[in-house]
Amino acid sequence: MRMTAAIALFAALAACGVDGPPVRPSVNTTVGVGSNGTNATVGTDWISGRVSTHVGVGF
C-alpha cells in the first residue's frame, strides 16, 4: 500500500509541473458484463515523454 501511495505522489508531483511543464492526466473507465457478473475499473494515466504511470482501482 505504501508503494502505491509513493507512486501516486510521484505521479501527482510530475503532473503539477514541479519538474517542468504540467502534464494533463487522462482518465480511463471500463465496465464489463459477463458470466461472473458486472465489473468496473477506473484509472488515470500520466504520460510525460517516454514515462507512463497508471493508477487504477477495480470494483
Mean per-residue pLDDT for 25-51? 84
- What would the pLDDT profile of 2-32 be if each residue is shown by its tens digit? 777 777 777 776 666 555 666 677 888 888 9
Q: Does 41 score more than 60 pLDDT?
A: yes
From residue 57, alpha-carbon distances to 8, 17, 18, 22, 38 in Å are 12, 25, 26, 24, 15
Mean per-residue pLDDT for 23-52? 83
What pTM, to 2 d.p., does this model score?
0.45
Q: How many helices (H) and strands (E) does the chain have?
A: 1, 3
